[in-house]
């Protein structure tokens, strides 16, 4: 499966080079990054690094993880901070270091099985921001795999009592994306244990 993903994403980035262009960070990252109390960050499925670059500019040391070397090469060419660590890895079997991060972001990507590993990688009081696509009858993308779409309200109920929800919302994606799609986002803070 992972090799298939790697080929699929490398090909997609090679064929659609517009996906590698500089872009603004995701909405919830831009709005809530400053709630993090320290400066270590992890960008999961970073792609060409829209969130990584933004966070590095804001003073974070960022680990950017993605399966596609094509996307990571584009990120490498754009990074100015020495505090960005680029990691080519398959998130299916990637375990982030325990208790390391003040902020973890995962945007436009969904792997439910990764959530527990992410929870362990957060310091107490750290933030986890998730923003990605959800099911909706008016979604325009014809071939969306339902496994990669959130259910109505899913992120609101996903996190247990070890987390405080700072923000939950459902909204339409940015108008510069190819298809109009409904999104869901959550910002949670890990409680002191």
Ligand X SMILES: C[S@@+](CC[C@H](N)C(=O)[O-])C[C@H]1O[C@@H](n2cnc3c(N)ncnc32)[C@H](O)[C@@H]1O
Question: Which residues contact ligand X (rule: CB under 6 A)?
Answer: 2, 5, 9, 26, 45-47, 50, 66-68, 71, 90-92, 107-109
**Alpha-carbon 111 to chain mean position:** 10
DSSP letter assigned to residue 186: E
Indicate the residue among 111 and 125 with the shorter CB distance to ligand X: 111
Report the nearest approach of ligand X to the CB of residue 85 (Å).
15
Least distance to ligand X, CB of residue 92, Å: 5
Shortest distance, CB of residue 159 to ligand X, whole angstroms? 20
E-strand ranges in the chain read 40-44, 61-66, 84-88, 101-107, 122-133, 163-172, 182-190
Question: Quick one: 46 or 184, whose CB is closer to ligand X?
Answer: 46
Q: Which residue is nearest to ligand X (CB)?
A: 47
Q: Checking DSSP bridges between strand 182-190 and strand 163-172, what pairing results, if any? A: antiparallel
Residue 81 or 108: the one with the smaller Cβ distance to ligand X is 108
- Tokens (6 digits) for 107: 């945007």
């Amino acid at each position: 499966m992972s090799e298939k993903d790697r080929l699929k994403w490398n090909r997609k980035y090679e064929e659609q080079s517009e996906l590698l262009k500089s872009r603004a960070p995701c909405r919830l990252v831009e709005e809530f990054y400053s709630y993090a109390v320290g400066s270590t960050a992890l960008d999961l499925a970073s792609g060409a690094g829209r969130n990584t670059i933004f966070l590095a500019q804001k003073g974070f040391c960022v680990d950017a993880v993605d399966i596609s070397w094509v996307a990571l090469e584009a990120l490498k060419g754009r990074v100015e901070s020495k505090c960005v660590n680029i990691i080519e890895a398959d998130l299916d079997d990637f375990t982030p270091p325990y208790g390391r991060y003040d902020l973890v972001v995962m945007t436009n990507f969904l792997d439910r099985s990764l959530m527990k590993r992410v929870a362990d990688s957060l310091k107490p009081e750290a933030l986890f921001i998730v923003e990605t696509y959800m099911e909706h009858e008016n979604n325009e993308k014809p071939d969306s795999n339902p496994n990669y779409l959130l259910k109505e309200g899913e992120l609101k109920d996903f996190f247990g009592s070890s987390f405080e929800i700072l923000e939950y919302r459902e909204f339409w994606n940015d108008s510069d994306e190819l298809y109009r799609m409904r999104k869901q986002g959550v910002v949670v803070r890990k409680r002191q244990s």
